[in-house]
Amino acid sequence: MDWKEVLRRRLATPNTCPNKKKSEQELKDEEMDLFTKYYSEWKGGRKNTNEFYKTIPRFYYRLPAEDEVLLQKLREESRAVFLQRKSRELLDNEELQNLWFLLDKHQTPPMIGEEAMINYENFLKVGEKAGAKCKQFFTAKVFAKLLHTDSYGRISIMQFFNYVMRKVWLHQTRIGLSLYDVAGQGYLRESDLENYILELIPTLPQLDGLEKSFYSFYVCTAVRKFFFFLDPLRTGQYLNLDKDHNGMLSKEELSRYGTATMTNVFLDRVFQECLTYDGEMDYKTYLDFVLALENRKEPAALQYIFKLLDIENKGYLNVFSLNYFFRAIQELMKIHGQDPVSFQDVKDEIFDMVKPKDPLKISLQDLINSNQGDTVTTILIDLNGFWTYENREALVANDSENSAELDDT
């Protein structure tokens, strides 16, 4: 019995000497004595607690230090053996062929066109004959996942086989990637992923014509794209922008990116916030920049641009920050002989598009939720983007006229 329950019952027992009244202090002393007694008895009954804890398996092992060479080698060898065992658990080509033979043998008529089908009863029969490695695929959950509109309650044999194939390929890829996890921590660092892609290039038919001198550019581009979308791909343009051929981009060189109509105010913010070296941008930083601009509908890209627009680092855009960037658009319009548009009108349009929770502040989440983040950011940083937005109705009408002319011909 819990000591607390014992104490509660003892204190609830009626006084056996009703004629003798106890003082308040005596009652408190008695309560404390009982508490001490029963707690000590309860504690004494758990003398083997430490022994009990020792039966829990050890679940944490510290990583070996750099100078513990033997421990490091042991850990690497253990990981290699583990991955080999996981690889052997996957279906090989012969086993996949045998699975296809069994599925085809147990198909359930009638066929739907040329599509062979199988019902749940035969599905389970194949599972029993296919072997232990296939057991994970022959479950009610998998069958229900692939069951669609068949009036006989069957699934497509081809769809099921493709499902198995995709699972096998997925695990094969996972094991292959794990081999490049040098630190053995369950994730790939940038250098690990670079090594993986570099060794993958010779196996990709699409890259047969790629000169080895461009391998490093391809690897860097691919890795940056992975890292950007998981927390651009214009190598030729990068080389063209780099006029002094020092492998870096200055603000003046970057200003020629795209249609060369980004505002200096925005470019200043890029070089203020992004990692640079002596005021110049390296290729990896450039890739992040291009990925953000070319994928402005994506949350990751909007987060990148929002940080640049949030000049006061307040976590939101207000009228001041919007005006700060749009003034640069107005100046470019004057330079190009265009009549400047009123900021007040643009500001109202932006807030109407975004419909933020706070009518005076636009948060990153507001931009994402509005599905207008790409439009808002474009009209604040790029004259060509703003001009396209401002003349969108005329451009649509012109496209319609051109389409009508083509139809007439």
What pLDDT does 233 receive? 39
* Assigned domain for 64 exists: no
Q: Does 338 lie in the same domain as 219?
A: no
Q: Does 201 lie in the same domain as 256?
A: no
What pLDDT does 50 receive? 59
CATH number at residue 170: 1.10.238
In the numeric block, the tokens 């309560």 are attached to: 31
Specify burial of residue 313 (Cβ count, 10 A radius: 0-12, 13-18, 19+).
exposed
What pLDDT does 220 receive? 87
Q: Does 261 lie in the same domain as 226?
A: no
Q: pLDDT tens digit string along 348-371?
A: 999 999 999 999 999 999 999 999
Q: Does 238 lie in the same domain as 227?
A: no
* Assigned domain for 408 exists: no
Q: Does 124 lie in the same domain as 77?
A: yes
* Assigned domain for 63 exists: no
What pLDDT does 406 receive? 46
Band of the pLDDT at 137, cuts 50, 70, 90? very high
The domain boundary residue, chosen from 161, 178, 195? 178
**Residue 362 domain boundaries:** 234-394
Q: Which residue has the higher pLDDT, 52 or 91?
A: 91
Total of domains in the chain: 4
Whole-number percent of the chain with pLDDT over 90: 42
Q: Does 118 lie in the same domain as 77?
A: yes
Give the mean pLDDT of 28-45.
Answer: 72
* Assigned domain for 340 exists: yes
* Assigned domain for 54 exists: no
pTM: 0.50
What pLDDT does 138 receive? 95
Report residue 322 as tokens: 């919007």
* Assigned domain for 8 exists: yes
Q: Does 217 lie in the same domain as 81?
A: no
Q: Does 119 lie in the same domain as 108?
A: yes
What pLDDT does 23 receive? 77
What pLDDT does 55 receive? 67
* Assigned domain for 36 exists: yes
Which of 3-7, 58-62, 106-110, 180-184 is the most confident on average?
A: 106-110
Q: pLDDT tens digit string along 173-227?
A: 888 888 888 777 777 888 888 898 898 888 888 888 888 888 888 898 888 888 7
* Assigned domain for 107 exists: yes
Q: Does 203 lie in the same domain as 150?
A: no
What pLDDT does 365 receive? 95
Q: Does 350 lie in the same domain as 265?
A: yes
For the beta carbon of residue 365, count every other beta carbon within 10 angstroms.
14
Q: Does 387 lie in the same domain as 258?
A: yes
Band of the pLDDT at 159, cuts 50, 70, 90? very high
Q: Does 331 lie in the same domain as 279?
A: yes
